[in-house]
Structure 1
Amino acid sequence: MTRFLSLGEIMVEMAPAPQNPGLFRLGYAGDTFNTAWYARRLLPATWTVSYGTVLGEDGMSDDLARFIGAQGMSNDAIRRHPTRTPGLYMIQTRDGERSFSYWRGQSAAKTLADDPAWLDEVMAERDVIQFSGITLAILAPEARRTLCAALGRARAAGAHIAFDTNLRPRLWESAEAMRSGLLMGAAVSDTVLPSFDEEQLAFQDATPEDTLQRYRAAGASCVVIKNGEAPCHGWSEADGSVTTTPPEVTKITDSTAAGDSFGAGFLAARATGASLGTAMSRAAHLAAEVIQHPGALAPQIFDQGETP
């Protein structure tokens, strides 16, 4: 049995109901959860996929835990907090544009790194551990250091650590804290998956090569730079430099989970032996399918056998 773990925050989602924007539908989502959801569908049945987070002891937290289990994931990496509850966000659409409002001040996931012994326990004997820039951004500065130290210990014990930089500037206390946090996360990671437009924003990168060299210097042995419809640039110690062109998508329905699904496609392919170029291509084709469907999770891709 091989074991995949994603760490982060799953939130309650309120989204406008189709055909009736005055009503809202309840759902659940989060960047690392989305990655775990796709990884579960891509990895062989011999893999266990777990979602690591902190939930409350309220009814909504119970529903979230049941939902995670119902998606074929293990609940063996969930801790409960006695007084906090899950975070919530609401989607609103005006003139075809989506906007988001968040309520996460009380989120139990913000205490993810409050118990270092628990972190070591849930990371023990994992083959792949994935986290993101959002995972770091919701934590207090000292808690970020605690989480990265635990990831470093897991890496030293043999886990492959994967970091999707996934920038949300509003979550960080300052631009400098954001840059420092990203480099801290990269320093304990084997694979780093940045997006070039976000790196331009954070570090004023002129080219994808600037991004690649920064994360190589931080200690990553594999860097893959997502770049929308432009060529995707990758590098690994074993494969050298690789460039792939993503498939053309004529109609984008919802790009919410483009990066999350790309990460799942890439990590699942690499975990099952694919070369760097093959993994990049599979990831890009999966993301291209996902953005043609509404919502972060697209089960119809797998139900209809469309998976690349």
Structure 2
Amino acid sequence: MTKLISIGECMIEMSALEDGLYKKGYAGDSLNMAYYARSFLPQSFDVDYFTALGDDVESEALAKSLERHGIGTDLIKYLPGKSPGLYMISLDNGERMFSYWRSASAAKEMAQDIGFLERTLLGDHALFFSGISLAILQPDTRAQFLDVLNTAKENGQQVIFDSNLRPSLWQNRQEMADWTAKASAVCTMALPTVPDEYVLFDEKSSEQVAERYLRAGCTEIVVKAGPEDALLTDGQQKEWVGPGQSIQPVDTTGAGDSFNGGYIAARLSGKNMVDAAQFAHKVAGQVIQHRGALVADIKSLVK
């Protein structure tokens, strides 16, 4: 396996600076993961981004930004009259709050062509998607998207899922729970985060979250818990791995995504689960000490 394809929505990011000013960038959970995975995977390993963009200036600039970061753009569909979504980050003592403008986002139509899905996603490569990747799609498109991912799983591909729950993207709590459960059944690796999963499924512990993914047929689970220890299990063994140090965050934007990217890169490079989780904690620990989702030269910061 020499390619990782990240599937989702990349948006225009407006991150808060001082004096009411904002800095423009491009980010989104699946893109953030791809950025950090690309940073730590060997150059012989391709990282591509699967999404849809429009035909406007910002779409062109976004694609060029991906290319500068070494992320492949050949799987991007360009839709006339569409544009990327936009979000704004507000901070309160390092904790982030988001405002979104994404009603016309081209990424909502990224999975409509099932033939394109099958041609691009099925093969000798790993796939990553998130709850946000799923939430922005229409219900009928979600179903065919998950069908293709299930075929990939049956074919022996690594299918990686981060539930990354965003209630505002769903019609109601039950819809979010139902589709999250369906997604958990097509993945081989799950990277959920508490306490979101606790609230959605009325669970009380990381062990219960992990057991639900195991019952769904997932074979590798990392239950993230922010600054607390992450629970790792493959159904046979169970380990708790913590960050090793307490860090006062400057901006927690991208913390989970960078953990995902670090962990996935380490696992695809041959590290075991414990070593991969320890490395992922180091990556996330550096990211939360900087503003914005994408930290430049992250590889030089992680020792």
Global fold match (TM > 0.5): yes
Query: In structure 1, what residue type is equivalent to 2:19?
Result: N
Query: In structure 2, what residue type is equivalent to 1:248?
Result: Q
CA distance, structure 1, for counterparts of residue 253 and residue 215 of structure 2:
30
Q: Deviation at 1:57?
A: 1.3
For 1:285, the equivalent position in structure 2 comes to 282
CA distance, structure 2, for counterparts of residue 95 and residue 205 of structure 1:
29
For 2:19, the equivalent position in structure 1 comes to 20
**Sequence identity, in percent?**
38
TM-score calculated relative to the size of structure 2 = 0.95
For 1:153, the equivalent position in structure 2 comes to 151
The Cα offsets for residues 15-49 of structure 1, whole Å up to 9 and x where unpaired, read as 33x3331x332211100000000000110011000
Query: In structure 1, what residue type is equivalent to 2:5?
Result: L
Q: Secondary structure at the match of 2:218?
A: coil
For 2:10, the equivalent position in structure 1 comes to 10
The Cα offsets for residues 140-195 of structure 1, whole Å up to 9 and x where unpaired, read as 11111111111112222332000011010111111011111111111110001111
Taking a change above 3 Å as real, the CA distance of residues 283 and 83 of structure 1, as seen in their structure-2 partners, is: same
Where do 5+ consecutive residues of structure 2 fail to align? none
**Are residue 297 (structure 1) and residue 294 (structure 2) matched?**
yes
- Tell me if the contact between 1:236 and 1:276 (Cα under 8 Å) persists in the aligned partners: no
**Are residue 252 (structure 1) and residue 249 (structure 2) matched?**
yes
For 1:262, the equivalent position in structure 2 comes to 259
* Counterpart among 110, 118, 132 of residue 112 in structure 1: 110
Taking a change above 3 Å as real, the CA distance of residues 277 and 92 of structure 1, as seen in their structure-2 partners, is: closer
How many residues are matched? 303
Query: In structure 2, what residue type is equivalent to 1:293?
Result: H
CA distance, structure 1, for counterparts of residue 19 and residue 120 of structure 2:
42
| RMSD of aligned Cα (Å) | 1.6
CA distance, structure 1, for counterparts of residue 188 and residue 257 of structure 2:
18
For 1:242, the equivalent position in structure 2 comes to 239
Where do 5+ consecutive residues of structure 1 fail to align? none
Q: Secondary structure at the match of 1:15?
A: strand
Q: Secondary structure at the match of 1:121?
A: helix
Taking a change above 3 Å as real, the CA distance of residues 94 and 221 of structure 1, as seen in their structure-2 partners, is: closer
Q: Deviation at 1:112?
A: 1.6
Higher relative contact order (CA 8 A, sep 6+): 2
User: Which stretch shifts more, 46-55 or 75-84?
Assistant: 75-84
For 1:276, the equivalent position in structure 2 comes to 273
